[in-house]
Chains A and B, each alone.
Chain A
Amino acid sequence: MQMDMFLDQFLNQAVLVKYTPLILKGAGVTVLLSVLIVLTGLTLGAGLACLRAYRIKAFSFAIVIFADVLRALPPLVLILLAFFGLPNIGVVLSSFTVLFLVLSLVLAAFAEEIVWAGITATPKGQWEAARSTGLTFTQALCYVVLPQAVRMVIPPLTNRAIAITKMTALGMVIGVPDILGQATTAQSFSANASPLTLAAIAYVVIFLPLVIASRWLEQRFTQKGS
């Protein structure tokens, strides 16, 4: 009896069939957003970490403030601020753009801190060897230090990138038609929880392989390191 009711509410075949295309469309949006956020966030974060390596006081200060603030604020606060606040001063952005911008910046903040940790952990002798062969500071940074730093921090970087791309689900709050956005709409139309089940499955299908891959990466890198 209970079981029947459960199946009817959470795995209702008619509802599942009807809304699968919608959820797939949402999955497309989620994946597209995730890829854009990861590319932008990691590039910007690594770039800022490199800029910080030049140890120009004003830049370093600004970078640290940026990274601290974006790591301290809940992304949802930033999303609401941007989505509801900016139009009041004449800046109207689509919900998709707001989500993309906010999460890219948040990922950039974390990536900056992580890559910077990698740069400072690279032995001083590497800089000296590079400079002693005539490489400029920038060349030493790009060809010698950064490749090592990035390699060192791939596991935390991957974990953070996954955690932040999962936050694309927050887009539902401002009406981004991603997986969760489509699922909640479908749920209220169908008066049935099955679309939520579909959404959960979709997220697991997309993110579980990534989580497992990150676990594998972590194992590989820590074994090699120690």
Chain B
Amino acid sequence: MASTYNEKGTPSSATLSVRALHKSFGVLPVLKGIDLHVQRSEMVFVLGPSGSGKSTMLRCCNLLEEPDSGAILIEGDKLTGPGVDLNKMRQRIGMVFQSFNLYPHLSALGNVTLALRRVLKMPREQAESEAIAALTKVGLSNRAGHFPSQLSGGQQQRVAIARALALKPTVMLFDEPTSALDPELVGDVLDVMRDVKEQGMTMLVVSHEMKFARDAADRVVFMDGGVIVEQGPPEQIFGAPTQERTRTFLSRFHG
């Protein structure tokens, strides 16, 4: 991709930049130099075999894992380094987990308001109205008082999306958001993700929902063995992959 570079040495237009990212667990190298730039309002899909480092890359993007080297930038601002308030930065990065990770002791509303009140220091009423707005976006304003144990998996994941969305993040990360769901509940969550994209959110999604990727993604990235093997528009990756490894991987999904 051709892009102009600003003085910080990043593509000036990128909302999320991952540069020369390396990460090992002990002696096991998991990420071996990842470079990835996600533009404003772009939805980038990450595919790859199990163990290829997709989750690790995503978790490095909000420093749930500490990178060994390389840089993560949000709108040109470095995530690491001296004088960076990590918690401030994390507000700009929403994350949705495979296992939802809703707080079981709080209602759906409580799940969404917690960070609004404690991180953004909003007064209660304002936090609640923001939370209701976020829950409305995922179609669950009528479940605000329910606890996670009273919600279906799909509803829980939508609350988790609302929790991230309410902070008005610059970019949202999704790590296999539908793979813990019963098949009939997947559609609701994907619909919500599509809405979020249509409202202009920048999204980095790890998922194996190929059909959704084909329909909704702007770009597909194929990872294997800790590196990006190839990337391009969905038509190209699914239609005419240039790399052998990509073909082998995709053939398993086409049967």
Asked if A and B form a direct contact in the complex, defined as CB atoms under 8 angstroms apart, the reply is: yes
* A contacts, CB < 8 Å to B: 123, 125-126, 128-136, 139, 143-144, 147-148, 151
Contact between A123 and B90 (Cβ–Cβ < 8 Å)? no
- B57 interface residue, CB < 8 Å from A? no
Contact between A134 and B87 (Cβ–Cβ < 8 Å)? yes
Contact between A143 and B118 (Cβ–Cβ < 8 Å)? yes
Contact between A151 and B105 (Cβ–Cβ < 8 Å)? yes
Q: A135-B119, A143-B114 are in contact. Are A129 and B93 (CB under 8 A)?
A: no
Chain A residues within an 8 Å CB radius of B118: 135, 139, 143
Nearest chain A CB to B64 CB, angstrom units: 5
Contact between A133 and B64 (Cβ–Cβ < 8 Å)? no
Contact with A along B132-176 (1 / 0, CB 8 A): 000000000000000000000000000010011001000000000
**Within the assembled complex, what's the spacing in Å between the Cα atoms of A135 and B86?**
10
- B228 interface residue, CB < 8 Å from A? no
Contact between A132 and B105 (Cβ–Cβ < 8 Å)? no
**Within the assembled complex, what's the spacing in Å between the Cα atoms of A155 and B163?**
31
Contact between B103 and A126 (Cβ–Cβ < 8 Å)? yes
**Within the assembled complex, what's the spacing in Å between the Cα atoms of A148 and B115?**
17
Chain A residues within an 8 Å CB radius of B167: 133-134
Nearest chain B CB to A215 CB, angstrom units: 23
Chain A residues within an 8 Å CB radius of B97: 125, 128-129
Q: Is the interface of B mostly helix, strand, loop or mixed?
A: mixed
Chain A residues within an 8 Å CB radius of B14: none
Q: List 15 A-B contacts (CB under 8 A).
A: A126-B103, A129-B97, A129-B101, A131-B64, A132-B90, A132-B95, A132-B164, A133-B119, A134-B88, A134-B119, A135-B115, A135-B118, A143-B118, A148-B103, A148-B105
Q: Is the interface of A mostly helix, strand, loop or mixed?
A: helix
Contact between B93 and A132 (Cβ–Cβ < 8 Å)? yes
Name 12 extra pairs, CB < 8 A, besides A133-B90, A135-B118.
A125-B101, A126-B101, A129-B97, A129-B103, A132-B64, A132-B94, A133-B94, A133-B95, A133-B164, A133-B167, A134-B91, A134-B167
Chain A residues within an 8 Å CB radius of B119: 133-135, 139
Contact between A133 and B114 (Cβ–Cβ < 8 Å)? yes
Contact with A along B72-108 (1 / 0, CB 8 A): 0000000000000001101101110101011111000
- B207 interface residue, CB < 8 Å from A? no
Chain A residues within an 8 Å CB radius of B88: 134
Contact between B87 and A136 (Cβ–Cβ < 8 Å)? yes
Select the residue from B62, B93, B101 with max chain A CB neighbours within 10 A: B101
- Of all chain A residues, the one with the shortest Cβ separation from B114 is A143
Number of A-B contacts defined by CB within 8 Å: 64
Q: Which residues, 33 to 52 on B, are CB-close (under 8 Å) to A?
A: none
**Within the assembled complex, what's the spacing in Å between the Cα atoms of A136 and B121?**
13
Nearest chain B CB to A138 CB, angstrom units: 10
Chain B residues within an 8 Å CB radius of A131: 64, 90
- Of all chain B residues, the one with the shortest Cβ separation from A146 is B105
Nearest chain B CB to A143 CB, angstrom units: 6
**Within the assembled complex, what's the spacing in Å between the Cα atoms of A129 and B95?**
8
**Within the assembled complex, what's the spacing in Å between the Cα atoms of A133 and B163?**
8
**Within the assembled complex, what's the spacing in Å between the Cα atoms of A128 and B119?**
15
**Within the assembled complex, what's the spacing in Å between the Cα atoms of A128 and B95?**
9
**Within the assembled complex, what's the spacing in Å between the Cα atoms of A135 and B115?**
6
Nearest chain B CB to A144 CB, angstrom units: 6
Chain B residues within an 8 Å CB radius of A148: 103-105
Contact between A133 and B99 (Cβ–Cβ < 8 Å)? no
Contact between B101 and A133 (Cβ–Cβ < 8 Å)? no
**Within the assembled complex, what's the spacing in Å between the Cα atoms of A86 and B183?**
69
- Of all chain B residues, the one with the shortest Cβ separation from A151 is B105
- Of all chain B residues, the one with the shortest Cβ separation from A136 is B87
**Within the assembled complex, what's the spacing in Å between the Cα atoms of A139 and B118?**
8
Chain A residues within an 8 Å CB radius of B101: 123, 125-126, 128-129
Task: Name the one of A129, A134, A151 contacting B102, with C-beta atoms under 8 angstroms.
Answer: A129
- Of all chain A residues, the one with the shortest Cβ separation from B173 is A132
Contact between A144 and B91 (Cβ–Cβ < 8 Å)? no
**Within the assembled complex, what's the spacing in Å between the Cα atoms of A132 and B62?**
7
**Within the assembled complex, what's the spacing in Å between the Cα atoms of A123 and B104?**
11
**Within the assembled complex, what's the spacing in Å between the Cα atoms of A135 and B95?**
13
**Within the assembled complex, what's the spacing in Å between the Cα atoms of A37 and B104?**
31
Closest 8 CB pairs of A and B: A129-B101, A133-B115, A125-B101, A132-B95, A134-B91, A134-B119, A134-B90, A134-B87
Chain B residues within an 8 Å CB radius of A126: 101, 103
**Within the assembled complex, what's the spacing in Å between the Cα atoms of A134 and B119?**
6
Select the residue from A125, A133, A139, A148 with max chain B CB neighbours within 10 A: A133
